[in-house]
Amino acid sequence: MPFLTDRELLEFTKDIQFDQIELMSQDNYNEALIAETIEKTGKKAELMSAALNMAIVGYGNQKYGEVKYKDHVLNLAELFQRSGVKVKLPKSAVIGEGDLTPNRLCRFFRLQIRDYIRAKKTSTYMFKKYSDGDAGYADICFRGSEYLDLDREQIEYLRGVLINMDRKLNINLVEKFNRVQDAKMRKHIPK
């Protein structure tokens, strides 16, 4: 018989202790390194403005648009090129912990994006096009919001918005959202 019994399987690894094993995250995003990279560009305000614009107005198909910061109109593609923000990456691209991408900028500036939405009483393309319009959730419907500390109702609302986006756009955002929420739940489980 090609299978071992449960007892034989446990006996096989009896000399290996769980306290000798430390699980490592597959996420190669390091917020401290991202902050350092942003600081080194000398364009912190411009990159935050870009993140606000991308999360609220939207972007896609390698088109990032423009944003006005102080009295200057910034072409985001040019800003990204000058600041070392990686764009046009294939899905399988391996990037470093401190590398900048448009999505990483939205993730990093998530609190500022939420606060801008609240302060300006505005809403995002995601909220307008893919939600049921419940204004109580307008400040959590944006790219990068899955990394906010959300309560259960917010999680379910945002999941519904992403499911709607997935259906209409034939994409799969909710899978990543679920992975992020699962990881956050595991982080809060006492050891």
Q: What is the pLDDT of residue 26?
A: 61
Tokens of 122: 């505005």
Determine if residue 152 is left, alpha or beta; phi over 0 gives left, psi from -120 to 50 gives alpha, anything else beta: alpha
DSSP state of 1: -
CB 89 within 8 A of CB 83: no
Report helix, strand or coil for 74: strand
pLDDT tens digits along 32-63: 999 999 999 999 999 999 999 999 999 988 89
pLDDT tens digits along 115-163: 999 999 999 999 999 999 999 999 999 999 999 999 999 999 999 999 9
Q: What is the pLDDT of residue 118?
A: 97
102: nearest Cα among 131, 77, 133 = 77
Summary mean pLDDT of the chain: 91
Lowest mean pLDDT among 9-13, 106-110, 134-138: 9-13
Encoded amino acid at 1, one letter: M
